[in-house]
Structure 1
Amino acid sequence: MKTSIKFFQAMALSLLVLLFSCGEKDEPQVSPIVGIWNYSSYRLDMSINGQPLVQFLQAIGASQQEAQEAAEEIKDEFFSDEDFEGTELQFDADGTYEIRIDGINDESGTYQLLENNTILRLTSEDDETDFKVEQLTNNRLTIIFEEEESDDFFGIGLPVLVKLELELSFVK
């Protein structure tokens, strides 16, 4: 009889351990990137040969005011708020994403968060693009795309290195 009681006590204790070990902490963690993100704002920085655009323009003879105005005009040639308005990113828990513009699917594929959530890699049928993750919280996402190209952009017979840094912010 004592053996039966000890057996049942051991079974009850095992059952309690099993029940508590299968609690909420075993629930899969959902990444904060999962959800629908709406475009909020953008920032574009440009440098030429390692100098911010305004400084480069001043170095080739523009006044401070002329350099500021020319830099804004050049940046406006690349992007404006209207280019991003209506953009929505949807990241699903299964590792897929969609980019919709005004509700129309513009791109889809898979995504990965790499290097401790500091790199967002989007892989579509045509392309693979890495973004630096500047901010990722439950309701804010800021990503940065960087591009460099060297060419004779000014037609002066000398190549210059142009670096663009596009920062896009989204909210849930």
Structure 2
Amino acid sequence: MACFEECGCTCYEWPGDAVFDSAIERETRINITLRGLVETHPGWYSEGADGIANNDVTWIGLRNVPGVYVLWQQADYCSEHNADHLRAFYVGKAGKNIEARLKVHQGKKQINDILSTQVSIWQGPNRLAKYIEQLLLDSFSFPLNGYETGGTLPLCHHILPAAWN
């Protein structure tokens, strides 16, 4: 039985990994797995005016970092597995303007009403980042991505409470 009815996820089981990992292995020589990308967590920011006033995005330290980033919402908690359930809501290509893009997301995307928005990032060259971003969009559903979305699987992550804070 799934821990979370909205997406059908069970804590610490990631059926979407096989789709992503097999495509990466088959199509490229990039040494990355979906879990490796998801678990690389440089920080978080608060939404809206409070986060902007606190300069939350800047302290993450991602200025000029190339790669792919994923924005997460804390969606729920599973008492059976003592796990916070995070849901991916946006994927984007990082680079010299990532800090500016995150500031725009902070003010306009409104991923979380109260909680912080978590950030995962895979660091790598621009050309590979474009491929990885498109593979994620082709495989998974990102509710706040408006273009080039075709994926239907939810991208979820499960962590111990406060593990990323």
Which TM-score tier does this pair reach, normalised by the shorter chain? under 0.3
For normalisation by structure 2, the TM-score amounts to 0.24
Indicate the structure with greater strand content: 1
Q: Which has the larger radius of gyration?
A: 1
Higher RCO structure (Cα 8 Å, ≥6 apart) = 2
